[in-house]
Structure 1
Amino acid sequence: MIKVMIIEDDPMVLEVNSSFLNKITMFELCGFAASGKEAIKKIKELEPDLVLLDMYLPEISGIEVLKQMREQGLPTDVIMITAARDSKSIQEVFRLGAVDYMVKPFHFKRFKSALDSYQKMRTKLKDSGTLQQEDIDEIKKMKESDEHLPKGLSEKTLQQILTGLMKQTKPVTSENLATYLGMARVTVRRYLDYLGQTGKIQVDIQYGNVGRPSHFYFIEKK
């Protein structure tokens, strides 16, 4: 079993991520922490194989936790889970050796994909004493597999939706964008959900007094 520790200060998010983890075979939750300092202490005590690390934590940030893990030589892999989408943070996280970066909010499919890819990579490294170039290339493909479009999505339609969204002057719903593009709302919503999960666009969820929350999509202007 692969031991996983979750570092998250939001009880609701912790519960969701724990329930996601319980659905995936070969992974088990060995502990959790709600602050940066507690995270470092428990990682040393529990020695997890993998840490699901939030960026924004009390006391010290997730990036600082990751820095201290590397400085202290802790043999634990990290998947960063955060709402931060700025390129500087993403670049720093990968420079510090995180194996994946998941942007909140995300669905179970993206969560499972990240852990499945990690398991394959870990198994390949564990079972191979000396690696050939083709073995290293295969591991690299495992890490990059999540960048490929999911089955049923096309690059052409994706670009049409991105272009249409870029032309909007304010956040829009999937229904608004579907009308603008002349496409089926369910199709546009599927692509927008994918773009939101991968951090390529921003999603603003607004809750009303009754009914389901409304999702407004936009591309952050730099």
Structure 2
Amino acid sequence: MKEQPYRVVVIEDDAMVQEINRQFIDNDPRFQVVGLASNGAEGIEMIARLQPELAVMDIFMPALDGIGTLKRLRSEENPIDVIVVSAAKDPETIQTMLRGGVIDYIIKPFKMDRMKQALDKYVQMKTRLQQERSISQKELDQFFHGPVEAEPVKKEQLPKGLNDITLQQIVQQLTQTAASFSAEEVAEKVGIARVTARRYLEYLEKIGQVKRDVSYGGVGRPTNRYVAAAHRL
């Protein structure tokens, strides 16, 4: 995970929507809103000055609308990522923004679950692209088309003492993110004992659904960490 939160500028002329977006984004520890702009002209100045990684931007705004703002940012080769949050839903506008390279497009009115989905997807994308290795076709497909559902494990395949429902809960936790987990972290998320979590993880490693890494950081014995096989080359 990125050590520092992703810095965000919110460009929105509706004060109430601007504040709602700010509060929601700031409540996510992975992000920090560093600037609020009420139109595209202010937003461009703020982006140039603050150098954030992400802009959450409306389209219908005074002074300079979202289309003009995006064109300016791209003409200046500004590397900022953009998520659009707008009432504009005509195909021409949507195509224009997609061609300009926005990474997501949310139509107002929207539920906050949709914003969370956009932020989660952004973090997953940045995490994968910042890793010091090449990206596989499978990983790209998971980003553009969503995570591949893990194949359910048949009950008759399970060793004695393992429960199918618990197993699927662990698989779901691991496939939701590219991060690795220790047995203790999995146990806490699923609500089982660490020893039990280790048994499930060892079984998933045996059938090829997870990969095991050994972490030597810190003092004491090395820690086994597990990551979904879909997130590994």
1:28 aligns with 2:26: no
Measured after TM superposition, the shift of residue 27 of structure 1 is 0.6
AA paired with 1:120? Q
Residue 97 and residue 143 in structure 1: after superposition, are their counterparts in 2 closer, same or farther (change >3 A)?
farther
AA paired with 1:67? K
Aligned residues: percent identity? 37
Counterpart of 1:103 (choices 96, 100, 107) is 107
| Contact 1:117/1:143 (<8 A) preserved | no
Larger radius of gyration: 2
Match of 2:60, SS state, is: coil
Counterpart of 1:43 (choices 33, 40, 47) is 47
Gaps of 5+ in 2: 150-233
AA paired with 1:40? I
How many angstroms apart in 2 are the aligned matches of 1:129 and 1:77?
A: 22
Q: 1:43-192 residue pairs with structure 2 within 5 A? A: 43-142=47-146
How many angstroms apart in 2 are the aligned matches of 1:97 and 1:144?
A: 24
What TM-score do you get using the length of structure 2 for normalisation? 0.59
Measured after TM superposition, the shift of residue 134 of structure 1 is 2.6
Q: Which residue in 2 is equivalent to 1:13?
A: 17
Match of 1:122, SS state, is: helix
| Contact 1:124/1:139 (<8 A) preserved | no
Residue 119 and residue 13 in structure 1: after superposition, are their counterparts in 2 closer, same or farther (change >3 A)?
same
Match of 1:68, SS state, is: helix
Measured after TM superposition, the shift of residue 142 of structure 1 is 4.1
Measured after TM superposition, the shift of residue 112 of structure 1 is 0.6
CA RMSD of aligned residues (A): 1.9
Measured after TM superposition, the shift of residue 22 of structure 1 is 2.2
Measured after TM superposition, the shift of residue 143 of structure 1 is 9.2
How many angstroms apart in 2 are the aligned matches of 1:131 and 1:56?
A: 36
Residue 51 and residue 142 in structure 1: after superposition, are their counterparts in 2 closer, same or farther (change >3 A)?
farther
Residues 17-74 of structure 1 deviation map (CA, whole Å, 9 limit, x = unaligned): 1111122221110111112111111111111111001101111110110011111111
How many angstroms apart in 2 are the aligned matches of 1:105 and 1:143?
A: 26
How many angstroms apart in 1 are the aligned matches of 2:147 and 2:129?
A: 13
Gaps of 5+ in 1: 146-222
Q: Which residue in 2 is equivalent to 1:178?
A: none
How many angstroms apart in 2 are the aligned matches of 1:62 and 1:134?
A: 33
Residues 156-211 of structure 1 deviation map (CA, whole Å, 9 limit, x = unaligned): xxxxxxxxxxxxxxxxxxxxxxxxxxxxxxxxxxxxxxxxxxxxxxxxxxxxxxxx
| Contact 1:78/1:99 (<8 A) preserved | yes
How many angstroms apart in 2 are the aligned matches of 1:143 and 1:83?
A: 28
4+ long deviations beyond 3 Å: 142-145
